[in-house]
Amino acid sequence: MSRKKIIAGNWKMNKTPSEAVELVNTLKPLVQNPDVDVVYCVPAIDIIPVKKALEGSNVHLGAENVYFEDKGAYTGEISPAMLKDAGVEYVIIGHSERRQYFAETDQTVNKKLLKLLENGFRPIVCCGETLEQREAGITMDWIRMQIKIAFHGVSAEEAKGVVIAYEPIWAIGTGKTATAAQAEEVCRGIRETIADLYGTDTAEAVRIQYGGSMNAGNCKELLAQPDIDGGLIGGAALKPDFGTIVNYNK
């Protein structure tokens, strides 16, 4: 099965609304590749101005987080309905920074995934191991557990529309990158886990991104791997280099 590549920028806590619009306009001519789905996952305050700035472009709009309730007394949180009304299509959940700094768990990731699917979004589910876990030889045990808990209650048909982002925590923002062989090994293991849960057809449909310091210099080798279907890009998504990643095949 031929899976269309997906390159998503995770802007994290960067760019004011006016700066966000400026960045969108800078990147517009650089990210035009019909072979790639391009997504900007932006801070909540930037969603509405970025949506307007993206009009007429090939770029899809994403959010960096969501809450798993429809509405209520959850000060500071954002509901699926709010994101939907603002024009968001993709939502990142379970990023290691959310887990580390905001006490997210595999169980809350599962709740968010179910709620996003219920509301017709395309979720980007993050998973990844620490350096200590890798050195202890439990990388795939850890990631299989993350995937199995996150996808609990998700149907095979629903799973096909989910994007999984493998981000080794030790490579996020550190400048360190897993080798292409290391990244492919884990992404292949993720696909095998999905196959165990749902069967080969679903596993072949699911798109798996690599994150963790993918940049203009290493993107071509990483994206050439058979089980790496894209990238979740941090720092490089805020620079013209993002266009080089999107156009890795040219």
Distance CA 10, CA 6 (A): 13
Which of 104, 129, 158, 167 is an active site residue?
167
Among residues 95, 97, 104, 184, the one annotated as catalytic is: 95
- The CB density around residue 82, as the number of other CB atoms within 10 Å, is 17
Q: Tell me the DSSP string of 181-230.
A: HHHHHHHHHHHHHHHHHH-HHHHHH-EEEEESS--TTTHHHHHTSTT--E
Work out whether the CA dihedral 128, 214, 229, 206 comes out positive or negative: positive
Residue among 85, 87, 79, 90 at smallest CA distance from 10? 90
Question: Which residues 6+ apart lie within 8 Å of 150 measured at CB?
Answer: 94, 106, 109, 110, 113, 125, 127
**Does the annotation mark 167 as catalytic?**
yes
d(CA 184, CA 166): 10
Please give the positions annotated as active site.
95, 167
